[in-house]
Amino acid sequence: MTYKQALYFIGEVLSLNAYPERKTSVKLQLELGVNWDELVRYSTGHMVFQAVYLNLKRADLLNYLPKDLVEYAAKLTQLNRVRNLAILKQTKAIQSLLNQQGIEPVFLKGTALLLENLYQDIGERMVGDIDFLVSEDQIVPAATFLKVLGYQSKGAFIAQEQSQSKHYPRLTHPNEIAALEIHWAVVAKPFHKTLAYREIFRDKWQVNGFYVPSYPHQAIHNLMNTQVNDKGLLYGKIMMRQMYDGFMLSFKPEVLEALSNF
């Protein structure tokens, strides 16, 4: 199985829930044989291993996988569920503390997807940091307050260079599972005005007590983050996790229209 073949197969698996008719071709590939070492390596590298496992499980195709692989995937998925639940708990605490300071965060990226239950299983999406957006004049107050609570940043924040970046240096806490990234912008220069703070804040919506961007803005951010911030366009990189996020968001109201008009 080549890298290209693996990505095509992973893509088919990840779309099974939306397009159940693809089960026939996925099943045929499984019957013909899959290099599981390669598939695990590629799907793990793209941070969609748990998603592949869960989609195969929902399609009732796990009997085509080696038993030890199924057990391994189930274990990793459960660990990710536990981690994501801890991230949600941390997110709730962060919001409550910032609200007490008059700061209203809008949660972004993977954290937003967890908060709005975009995926059927909370263990399906791998999340690294807790990203959230605040107004530019709230960056320093938010970071200063969080540092008082025990968060630390490895990098120094230089106010004069703020306009050249999009978030405060990453904050970590010895007793918390996820690092924090406090954003005042979501897209790197020179494209930062394509999705500005004011637009996101204006159209934000509340889900389960948390503010997240509108679905169209989440989809545009996902696209711009992949192509601009992560330099996917420059280097021709394929990022399956972000593609899967975009695929799932595409079924939400007004997303396809917003992307076609973007």
Given a cut of 80, is residue 234 above it in pLDDT? no
Q: Is 81 exposed, middle or buried (0-12, 13-18, 19+ CB in 10 A)?
A: middle
Residues 6+ positions from 79 with CB-CB distance below 8 Å: none
Distance CA 178, CA 88 (A): 10
Q: CB of 53 within 8 A of CB of 120?
A: no
What pTM did the predictor assign? 0.93
Residues 6+ positions from 213 with CB-CB distance below 8 Å: 106, 108, 112, 133, 200, 203, 204, 205, 221
Residues 6+ positions from 35 with CB-CB distance below 8 Å: 1
Residue with structure tokens 């996902």? 222
Q: Quick check: helix, strand or coil at residue 182?
A: strand
Q: CB of 81 within 8 A of CB of 121?
A: yes
Q: CB of 184 within 8 A of CB of 134?
A: yes
Confidence of residue 161 (pLDDT cuts 50, 70, 90): low
pLDDT cut 70: percent of the chain above it: 97
Quick one: how far is CA 14 from the chain centroid?
Answer: 15
In terms of Cα–Cα distance, which of 219, 191, 189 is closest to 203? 219
Mean pLDDT (whole number) for 82-107: 97
pLDDT of residue 172: 97
Distance CA 202, CA 114 (A): 21
Given a cut of 90, is residue 75 above it in pLDDT? yes
Second-level CATH architecture of 66-261: 2-Layer Sandwich (3.30)
Average pLDDT, the chain: 93
Report the alpha-carbon angle 72-74-76, nearest 5. 70
At 221, list the tokens: 């951010």
In terms of Cα–Cα distance, which of 115, 130, 132, 128 is closest to 47? 128
Distance CA 81, CA 223 (A): 26
Model pLDDT for residues 171-222, shown as the tens digit of each residue? 999 999 999 999 999 998 888 888 999 999 999 999 999 999 999 999 999 9
Distance CA 71, CA 78 (A): 11
At 12, list the tokens: 């088919």
